[in-house]
Amino acid sequence: MKWRYMLGEWGLAKLQLPQGFVDAEFAPHEADREAAWELYIELATRISTQPLPPGQGVEAAALESLHSLFATTREIMKRHGRDAQAFARIGIAVLNRIVRPMLTRWHARFAETTTPDEASLMIFRQELEAMRLDMLAYARLLAAIADVAPMAGEDEHE
């Protein structure tokens, strides 16, 4: 099975990974599996994959949790090194093409001394929900790389 199929299966074809990578066989190394498991657990327990119901939670804290995924992913990549290249390639693409655009749009608004107005907060929550669906797809792909079953609530396509 090719990476192209795996990415398409989990709705992540939009990551636009290099042709040579997506046409390669899906054959992650042990380091890829270990790294995928570590990040899978991080994602499964964060706002990136959990809904933020109306009237609950703090938007700025959700944004900070998303931002922390950069440091977490970098640390996992450094720890597992070059043997986890498939994990790193996908992780970098997700950070740069899914998480970073959200942070870029919202970081300045939440860094200001005043809280964004209600209309802006509603838009933020809508964008967070859309991103959550992409991150659920990423979490399911990580589970496949790690060769584990997705946790409860993540085993079906959205």
CA dihedral of residues 33, 38, 39, 45 (deg, nearest 10)? 140
Residue 151: is its pLDDT beyond 80?
no
Total domains present in the chain: 1
Residue 155 resides in a domain: no
- What pTM value is reported for the model? 0.87
pLDDT band at 63 (very low <50, low <70, confident <90, very high): very high
- pLDDT tens across 25-48, in order? 888 999 999 999 999 999 998 888
Domain containing residue 84: 3-146
Residue 2, beta-bridge partner list? 25
Residue 17 resides in a domain: yes
Comparing C-alpha atoms, which of 61, 131, 54, 60 is closest to residue 100? 131
